[in-house]
Amino acid sequence: MRYLFILIFVAVVLAGCSEDKVVTSVDLYFMEITETRFKLASETRDFDGPQPGIKSVMEAWVEGPRSSELSRVVPEDVRLLDGFVRDSVAYVDFSTEITKAPMGGELEAVLVQSIVMTAAQVQGVNAVQIMVEGEIIESLAGHMLINRPIQITPSKNDNRPVSS
């Protein structure tokens, strides 16, 4: 009888081990540098589980692209301080270094769009509020206002969201 119990226990444990691991693919948006401009380009990353949270997705974004054809949008010393979703708005809070990099209007636009497009990949996010050191600020570099949540609308060309 004791051996039967052990045999059943081992069978249950082994059955639990055979479950397939759930992996979710998410597009992270980085910068592609062309001869004439900066533009957004995506890189797909796999996350364990059915749906990664905003903090996991944005931490992967801060780490930068794996592809040598894409470039970081933020300096390497930028850190994600927090990320959460409330009332369909993703709040992403970065260290102050995100405002220290010299950037013109085009680069700032790519930076803001890459944050918004990446955060938009998280289920339930309809808008993105960029913050610095826990505060909502006017702009990252003086060219684009970020003092309100940036709304996300679906693109007409595909199912990926675009910022408006």
Q: 16 lies in a domain?
A: no
Q: 113 lies in a domain?
A: yes
Q: 15 lies in a domain?
A: no
Residue 44's domain comprises 22-163
Q: 17 lies in a domain?
A: no
Q: 101 lies in a domain?
A: yes
Q: 68 lies in a domain?
A: yes
Q: 92 lies in a domain?
A: yes
H helices of the chain, in order, are 2-17, 54-63, 105-119
Count of structural domains, the chain: 1
One-letter amino acid for residue 161 of the chain = P
Based on the number of CB atoms within 10 Å of its own CB, is 96 exposed (0-12), middle (13-18) or buried (19 or more)? middle
C-alpha to C-alpha distances, 137 to 33, 39, 115, 147, nearest whole angstrom: 27, 24, 15, 5
Q: 134 lies in a domain?
A: yes
For residue 37, what pLDDT is reported?
A: 87
For residue 19, what pLDDT is reported?
A: 59
Per-residue pLDDT of 32-89, as tens digits, reads 988 888 889 999 999 998 889 999 999 999 999 999 999 998 889 999 999 999 999 9
Instruction: Report the DSSP beta bridge partners of residue 71.
Output: 31
Per-residue pLDDT of 117-164, as tens digits, reads 999 999 999 999 999 999 999 999 999 999 999 998 765 444 444 444
Please check the confidence at residue 100 and state whether its pLDDT lies above 80.
Answer: yes
- DSSP 3-state assignment of 113? helix
pTM above 0.85, yes or no: no
